[in-house]
Structure 1
C-alpha cells in the first residue's frame, strides 16, 4: 500500500468506514479508493478528490480533538460512569461547574477540579497540547435520558447520558414459558368482509382464533404508512414513514362516524360501490391503488362528518394538540398531493421543512390527520386484546424508510442523503442488493440525541408485545452504496452499537416489549455476542440449519430464540421441500423419524411439514412462529428478493380465507399438536 492509499485508509477509519470486509464465503474484499472517497463524501468529509485527503485527515483529527466530549454517553445501571473530556492543557488544570439534568426534572450540580482528574491520553495538534481526562459522575443516575453540561472558562460542553439496564426486557415467566403463534402478512389475510386486503378486523379475528387454540402471538409484516398512489411503493420494508400507520388496513366498520354519516352510508351501500368491493375482494392480489381509492372515498366523508360532531371533533383536536408530529405528517402528505411531486423536487422553503397553509389543501390535511387518529385507536384496542390473553402483537420494525418519505424530509440531519443501503454480492445475488433507501447518518443521529430512532421504537412498542428488529447487524455496521455507484462497490459503515443497545434496553423495559433481532445470513460473531449480552432473542430458521446437517441432525434452537420454518423472504416449506435434493430430504426425514416426529421416513411434504413443526415445537426455543400458508402447503412466495417487475411481491393473497382455514381439520390438528408440545414441561435445565 502506497502512502496515498495509507492516508486514505486512515481517514476512512476515522469516519468509521471499513476498508475491507469478509464476504459470505470468507474471502477478503477490499474497498476501492473510488468507493471510499464516495462514502466519505456521503458522510460529509470535506474532500472532492484523492488529492484532498491529507487536508481532510488533518481537519478530521483536529475536529475530534476539539470535541470536548462525545454527544452521547452510556451509563449502564450496574457500572460506574465516566465522561471522557478532551481538553487543551490550559483548561485541564482549571475549575469546572457540572450539571446533570435528569429526565424527571431533578438536577445535580457540583464543582470539579480538573487538575485532580486522571489523564488517560495526550497529544499535540496544530501547536496545541491536548489531554484526555476521565470525569466520574457522582452516584447512579436513574434510568432515562439525561443531559450533562460542563462549564469551563470560555468553553461549555454537553452530552446526552443514556442510563439504561444492561439487559433488554424479558417477561417475568420467560424462563418457564414456551410460546407459539401464527404469522401472515395482513394484506394476504382475506375474509368474507375484507375489501382489497385484510384489515384490523381480520387481524382481530385471527388473534381470537389463535388464542382459542392456546397460542399467544399473531405476527405480521410492517403496518406502516405507505405511498399507494404516486409514488407507488407498497413494500412494507420501504414505508413512507416509520412513525405513522397505514390507513389501508383500517377497519371501516369500526369507525364511530360510520353510524352517523348518512352520506358515507349511502355511498358504501350503493350498488356501484358494492360491485367495486366484490371485484377487489375476489382478486387473488391486493390491489393497493384501487383499494385505497375506495377506502379513501369513505374515510374522507367520515372525516368531514367528524368535524360536525362536537364530542368527536373535540377528541380529535385534543389528540392533535398532544401529537403535533401527526399534524406535521398530515401536512407533508397533503403537500405531496397538491404539489404532485416528491419532496426533493419541492421549492426550497418547502424542501427544507417549512410548510405554509397555501402549500396544501386543508381537506387533505384533515384526512391524513383523521386516519392516523383512527389507526392509533384501532391498533391500541387490538394490542390490549393481545396482551390480555398472551404476550401481545408481534410487530416488525423495518430497517429503512422510503427516500421520498416524511421521516427523511423532516429529519434530514439523521440521514445520509447521498447514499443508499444494501447488501454486498453473495451466492444468490452476485451483483449485490440496493434497497434504495438512505441510511441513518452515524454522527447525525448522535448529534440529535437519537431522537428519531427513539421515536420509531416508541411508535411500535406502544402496541407490540414482541418487536422484530429488521437486520440487527445494522446496529453495528451497514452496507452503504454511495450515489452513482453499484452495490458491488458498496462500503460498510460502522455505528455506535452500545448506544443503540442502551436505547433498546431502556425502551423495551418501559414498554415491556421483548426484542427479536433478525440475525440471518452472514453475521459477524460480535453481533450475536452483543445480542446475547443484552438479551435480545435470535432467529432460528430451520432450513438455514439443514445446510450443515450432521448425523445428529440439525442444530437445535437456542432457548432465547424465535424458531420458524421460513421468513417472508424465503420459499414456503412446500417449495423448499420440492427443491431440496433427495438425499437431504431423506436425511432430514430419518432424523425426524428417530426423534419420534414421523411414523416412518417419508418424502411426502405434508408429513414432513408436521414433523418439522413438531421438532421445533418440542425444542427449547421460547418463541415459535408458524407461517399459516405452510399449513396448506402453499408454493408461491410472498416476496422474491432481488425482483421488482418480475414477481408480484407484497401482493399475493392467501389461497384460503379466514372463515375457511380456521375450520380445516388439518390446520386445527397441526396447531393443537403444537400447542400440546409447547405446553409440555422441559425438565432439562435451560
Structure 2
C-alpha cells in the first residue's frame, strides 16, 4: 500500500486500521481499500488515478457555491463558506422552516480573508458567512445569489441535547420487549398484528404497570410472497409492513355486504389455525390470506370524512409514498429479484408508463399505509391510556434489502458495490454480512439528509421511544466490498454530528426518547458523545464485564441506558443458562474455537454470574431455573439504568432464540412463535394469566 492510497482512504472517510473485539489492532488490506473506495465512486486502481482523486477531493468544496448541508446546534456561533467567482459580490439569506414560523433572515458576512483558488480554469473566491445564534430549531433553506446565478442548500438547526422526559427524571421505567409477529391471539391471522400490539400494550400497562413495550421493526417487506422473514432486512424503513394490519379493525369492514363479509371471514379461517401452531411462523400464508381480505375492504366505499383523511395522508407523504406504492405494484408483476434494466430507473420512461398503468394498485398500496398508520396511532393511544409513561418503543433497522423499495427509489443516496455488516467478534467469529447497501455519506449530505428525515418522521410519528439498532452505524459502518468475505471489510465514517443532530431534532419534535444499541466493536468516545446528546445506550447483562472480565456489579452500570438481561440475538435466559447458545452455534458450524473450550467459557460465565447473585442475596442454595431468571432481573433492577427491559420470551419461559446471527436458512430466524418452557404456544388471551409472567413482573412492581 502506498502512502497516497492510505491518504486517499483516510481523507475519503475510509478507515485504514481498526481495533478488533479482542483488543488487537487490525490493518485493512490494500485491495480492500481500493474496493471500498470504488464503492464510494472513487477510482484508486492505479497510482495515477489515486493522485487525480486526491486533487479532486481538494477542489471539490470550491466547486460548490454553498455547502450541500449545514448542520448547527442551536445557539452555536457557526460559520460556513460561500464560493463565488473571484471579485464578485454575493447575497446570502435564509428561508425559515414553516414549522418554525417561517420568514426570511439575511445572513451576515464575516471579515475573513481566504486566498482565491484556481479550479477548472477559473479563479474562485471564498466568502465566510455566520449562522445567527437565535435561529429556531428546524429545517431551513439556505439561499445565495451572485453573478453565477441563484443557489440553495439545506441548513438544519438541531438541539444541543435531547432532554429526558420529566416522567423519567422523576422515576425510571420498565417495560416488556417482544417480537410482535410471534405474539398472537385467537383473532390473529397466523401472525401477531397491530390489534395484538394494542392489546398487549394496554394490558401490560394496566395489569403489570409497565411503562413501555419495545417491539421489532415494523418496516415494510415484499408486497407478494415470498416475504423476507427478517424484520431487520426490510424493503423500506420508512413504511410499514401491511402484514401487521388487522382487517376487522378497519371501519369499512363493518359495513361490507354479507357476501363480502363472508369472503373476509373465509380468508381468516384459512390461517387462524396457525395461531396455535408451535411450528415456524408462515408469513406467506398469513399475507396471502390477509391480502385477499384487504382488497375486498379497499373496494368498499368510504365516508366523505374517511376519504378526505386518506387523501390528506397521501398528499402529506408525497413522492416517497407514491414511489413505495409503485415499487409494491411493480413487484406483483415482477416478483423476481432481477428486474429488467429499464425498470431500475425510477425516473425512466418504462417506470413512468407503469405508474399510469398500475394506478389502481398504487392507490391500494397507499391505502394500506394509511390503514396501518391509523392502527399504529390507536396502539400508541391505547398504551398511554392504559397507563404507560412512554408507550410503544419502535425499532429502527440498520439498512434495507439490496433489491427492495428503498434501494430502488433512493438509489442516488445509497452506495453500490458494497454491503454492510460487522467484523468478527466473540459471538460471531466469522464476521457478519447483512447484505444491505449503505448510505453514501457524500450523496446523503448533497440530498440535505432529507431521506433520513423522512424515514425518522414516519417511524417516530406514533412512538414514545425509538431504539436505533447498531447506532454505531451512524458514526461508521463496516463496508464489505462485493465479492469479499465479512472479515475483509473496512469502516467508512459518516458525519455523525449531522446525523445524530437530525435524530435529536426529529425525536424532540415527536417527544420521543432515543435508545442506541451501542454493542459490538466501537470506539470508546462514542458512548460519551451519545450520552452528551441525551441518547441512552444499551446494556445487556451478559455483556457487561469489569476490567478483570467478571460480571459487572449492578451499581457500575450506566444510568443513561436501557438495561436488560438478554436480547433477541441470544437465546432467552433459560436457554442461555443451559448453554444452548454454544450448542446451537456448534451445530451450525459458527465456532472457530474448539467447542469444548467455548463450553467451558460459557460454564465459567454462568458460574461467575451465579456467584454474583448469591453474594447479593438474590438466590439461595440450588436455585431452580425460574428462580435464576427472576434473580437476574432483580439484579438489573439494582442498576441505576433509566429503562429496564424484560423479554416477553423470558417471562413465559421460552428457550428458543428468535435469531442466530451469521445464519440465513440454517435456522428458522424470526419465525419462532411465543411458547412456554414446554414448547406450548402462549396466546395473548392467556398471557396475562400466566403465573411465570406475573411472578417476573412482580420483581419490578416491588
TM-score by length of 2: 0.88
Aligned to 1:463: 462
Q: 1:491 to 1:632 in 2, by over 3 A?
A: same
Aligned to 1:661: 687
1:592 and 1:491 map into 2 onto residues whose CA distance is: 40
Kindly indicate whether residue 192 of structure 2 is the aligned counterpart of residue 198 of structure 1: yes
1:373 and 1:565 map into 2 onto residues whose CA distance is: 36
Q: Which runs of 5+ in 2 are unaligned?
A: 580-600, 676-681
Aligned partner of residue 57 in structure 2, secondary structure = helix
1:254 and 1:241 map into 2 onto residues whose CA distance is: 24
Contact 1:224/1:244 (<8 A) preserved: yes
Q: 1:350 to 1:159 in 2, by over 3 A?
A: closer
Kindly indicate whether residue 215 of structure 2 is the aligned counterpart of residue 215 of structure 1: no
2:359 and 2:107 map into 1 onto residues whose CA distance is: 52
Contact 2:225/2:288 (<8 A) preserved: no
Kindly indicate whether residue 450 of structure 2 is the aligned counterpart of residue 454 of structure 1: no
Contact 1:541/1:565 (<8 A) preserved: yes
Alignment of 1:193-342 (within 5 A): 193-212=187-206, 213-227=208-222, 229-230=224-225, 232-262=227-257, 263-270=259-266, 274-279=269-274, 281-306=276-301, 312-324=306-318, 325-342=320-337
Q: Which runs of 5+ in 1 are unaligned?
A: 677-686
Aligned to 1:185: 179
Aligned partner of residue 317 in structure 1, secondary structure = helix
In the TM superposition, what is the alpha-carbon distance from 1:356 to its structure 2 partner? 2.5
Kindly indicate whether residue 471 of structure 2 is the aligned counterpart of residue 472 of structure 1: yes
For residues 516-574 of structure 1, give each alpha carbon's deviation from its aligned partner in whole angstroms, at most 9, with x where no partner exists.
00001121112112101101001111010158554973563211110101111112111
Aligned partner of residue 464 in structure 1, secondary structure = coil
Contact 1:586/1:603 (<8 A) preserved: no
Aligned to 1:80: 77
Aligned to 2:55: 58
Kindly indicate whether residue 32 of structure 2 is the aligned counterpart of residue 38 of structure 1: no
Aligned partner of residue 175 in structure 1, secondary structure = helix
Aligned partner of residue 522 in structure 1, secondary structure = coil
1:485 and 1:649 map into 2 onto residues whose CA distance is: 24
Aligned partner of residue 596 in structure 1, secondary structure = coil
2:234 and 2:552 map into 1 onto residues whose CA distance is: 43
In the TM superposition, what is the alpha-carbon distance from 1:577 to its structure 2 partner? 1.1
In the TM superposition, what is the alpha-carbon distance from 1:323 to its structure 2 partner? 3.0
Kindly indicate whether residue 674 of structure 2 is the aligned counterpart of residue 674 of structure 1: no
For residues 256-291 of structure 1, give each alpha carbon's deviation from its aligned partner in whole angstroms, at most 9, with x where no partner exists.
121122233212444x86254324643532101111
Q: 1:602 to 1:558 in 2, by over 3 A?
A: farther
In the TM superposition, what is the alpha-carbon distance from 1:84 to its structure 2 partner? 3.2
Aligned to 2:679: none
1:106 and 1:168 map into 2 onto residues whose CA distance is: 26
1:49 and 1:608 map into 2 onto residues whose CA distance is: 60
Kindly indicate whether residue 575 of structure 2 is the aligned counterpart of residue 578 of structure 1: no
In the TM superposition, what is the alpha-carbon distance from 1:109 to its structure 2 partner? 2.3
Alignment of 1:94-133 (within 5 A): 95-104=89-98, 105-109=102-106, 112=109, 116-119=111-114
Q: 1:225 to 1:551 in 2, by over 3 A?
A: closer
2:59 and 2:80 map into 1 onto residues whose CA distance is: 20
Contact 2:544/2:552 (<8 A) preserved: no
For residues 360-400 of structure 1, give each alpha carbon's deviation from its aligned partner in whole angstroms, at most 9, with x where no partner exists.
54443333122111101000111122234221211101110
User: Is 295-304 or 429-438 further displaced after alignment?
Assistant: 429-438
Kindly indicate whether residue 161 of structure 2 is the aligned counterpart of residue 167 of structure 1: yes
Aligned to 1:679: none
How much is the aligned-residue C-alpha RMSD, in angstroms?
2.6
1:581 and 1:339 map into 2 onto residues whose CA distance is: 48
Kindly indicate whether residue 24 of structure 2 is the aligned counterpart of residue 24 of structure 1: no
Contact 2:95/2:140 (<8 A) preserved: yes
Q: 1:199 to 1:551 in 2, by over 3 A?
A: closer
For residues 229-276 of structure 1, give each alpha carbon's deviation from its aligned partner in whole angstroms, at most 9, with x where no partner exists.
455312100111111111111112211121122233212444x86254
Contact 1:602/1:608 (<8 A) preserved: no
Aligned residue-pair number: 664
In the TM superposition, what is the alpha-carbon distance from 1:654 to its structure 2 partner? 0.7
For residues 22-79 of structure 1, give each alpha carbon's deviation from its aligned partner in whole angstroms, at most 9, with x where no partner exists.
2112222222222112111211124554542222222222223433442122221232
2:156 and 2:202 map into 1 onto residues whose CA distance is: 39
Contact 2:154/2:448 (<8 A) preserved: yes
Contact 1:37/1:49 (<8 A) preserved: no
